[in-house]
């Protein structure tokens, strides 16, 4: 599994050090519930960053602000040189074609078959795909996640792990440059969870993506991260590699690594 660790590449290539995603001074509150208070984060090309945080700490809120599903109160989210909160729908759609989002609950369209689920983003993005390209890519992506045989099934007929893979396939279908994973292993058994993490790493390898992963699964943090960010009280409380953070003496950080 040495292929998974590749910090050297980043140091070798100066261009790759340019962040593809830059979150600055992000504020978000729901009424009196101040969820994000001055949150900052950078994601470099080809890098995997894991965001750690307790349940309810605002990880999902943060990641939704990144794709424009939520409008932050303050702050900026720069992706591909554009500030997401300021974009209109059309520009947002252009950016979104390059960003994959794996939902915490998969969010598969349960009125559609697996094929239709995968075709949906391809048919509706601003990029035009030929009929053959759509077909070919659906099959290819399903093979990537190892579920080619489920193509005509309904999501309800699949197990939780399979659904997660299909959701992952749908996230990948547009070949995004950045993938945002919202708790990809939560609710799965450890073995399936491990498989999903391996899959994520393979994908990262194959399509050369950058990943922002939300998780509180230590296995995931350990194997999938180049860098770890700890989100506590609405801000980036600590940051570093997995190794560095395990050595951190702050009790709030230490909690996560026991």
Partner 1 sequence: MLTTASHKKVLHQLNRSFLNEVGGLSRFAGRFFNQAFRPRYEIAEFIRQCFVIGYKSLPLIGLTSFILGLVLTMQLRPSMVSYGVESQLPAIVGIAVIREIGPVITALIFAGKIGSSIGAELGSMRVTEQIDAMEVSGTNPFKYLVVTRVLAATLMLPILVLLGDAISLFGSWIGINIRGATSFHLYWTQVFDNLAFTDVLPAFFKSFFFGFAVGIIGCFKGYNSSKGTEGVGISANSAVVVSSIVIFILDLLAVQVTDALGLN
Ligand X SMILES: Nc1ncnc2c1ncn2[C@@H]1O[C@H](COP(=O)(O)OP(=O)(O)OP(=O)(O)O)[C@@H](O)[C@H]1O
Positions touching partner 1 (CB under 8 A) are 64, 67-69, 89, 93, 96-97, 99, 101, 103-111, 120-121, 124-126
- Spatial distance between the Cα atoms of 213 and 224, rounded to a whole number of angstroms: 9
Residue 77 CB: number of other CB atoms within 10 A?
A: 22
Tokens for 88, please give them: 């209109």
Nearest to residue 202, comparing CAs of 159, 160, 141?
Answer: 141
Q: How many residues bind ligand X (CB under 6 A)?
A: 12
Q: How far is the CB of 18 from ligand X (least distance, A)?
A: 28
- Residue 96 contact, options ligand X, Mg ion, partner 1, none, Cβ 5-8 Å cut-off depending on partner type: partner 1
DSSP state, 251?
H
Q: What are phi and psi of 75, to 5 degrees?
A: 100, 175
Closest residue to ligand X in the complex (CB): 60
DSSP state, 33?
E
Q: How far is the CB of 220 from ligand X (least distance, A)?
A: 13
Nearest to ligand X of 46, 193 (CB atom): 193
E strand segments, 45-142 = 48-53, 74-79, 82-83, 99-102
Does residue 53 touch ligand X according to CB under 6 A?
yes
Which of 44, 45, 59, 137 forms a contact with ligand X (CB under 6 A)?
Answer: 59
Does residue 61 touch ligand X according to CB under 6 A?
yes
Which value, in Å, is the radius of gyration of the alpha carbons in the chain? Answer: 18
| Contact positions vs Mg ion (CB under 5 A) | 60, 104
Burial class (CB in 10 A: 0-12, 13-18, 19+), 233: middle
Does residue 185 touch ligand X according to CB under 6 A?
no
Judged by CB under 6 A, the chain residues 91 through 130 that form the site for ligand X are 104
Q: How far is the CB of 97 from partner 1 (least distance, A)?
A: 6
Nearest to partner 1 of 27, 120 (CB atom): 120
């Amino acid at each position: 599994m040495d292929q998974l660790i590749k910090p050297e590449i980043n140091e070798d290539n100066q261009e790759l050090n340019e962040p593809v995603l830059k979150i600055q001074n992000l504020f978000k509150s729901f009424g009196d519930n101040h969820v994000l208070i001055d949150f900052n984060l950078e994601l470099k090309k080809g890098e995997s960053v894991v965001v750690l945080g307790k349940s309810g700490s605002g990880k999902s809120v943060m990641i939704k602000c990144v794709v424009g599903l939520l409008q932050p109160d303050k702050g900026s989210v720069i992706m591909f040189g554009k500030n997401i909160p300021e974009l209109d729908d059309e520009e947002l759609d252009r950016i979104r074609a390059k960003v994959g989002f794996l939902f915490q609950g998969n969010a598969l369209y349960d009125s559609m078959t697996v094929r239709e689920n995968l075709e949906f983003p391809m048919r509706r993005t601003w990029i035009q795909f030929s009929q053959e390209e759509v077909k070919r890519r659906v099959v290819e992506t399903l093979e990537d996640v190892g579920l080619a045989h489920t193509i005509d099934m309904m999501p309800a007929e699949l197990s939780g792990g399979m659904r997660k893979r299909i959701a992952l396939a749908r996230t990948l279908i547009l070949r995004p440059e950045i993938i945002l994973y919202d708790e990809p292993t939560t609710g799965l058994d450890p073995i399936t969870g491990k498989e999903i993490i391996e899959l994520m790493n393979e994908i990262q390898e194959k399509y050369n993506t950058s990943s922002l992963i939300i998780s509180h699964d230590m296995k995931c943090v350990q194997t999938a991260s180049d860098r770890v960010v700890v989100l506590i009280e609405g801000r980036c409380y600590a940051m570093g590699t997995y190794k560095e953070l395990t050595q951190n003496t702050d009790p709030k950080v230490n909690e996560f690594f026991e």
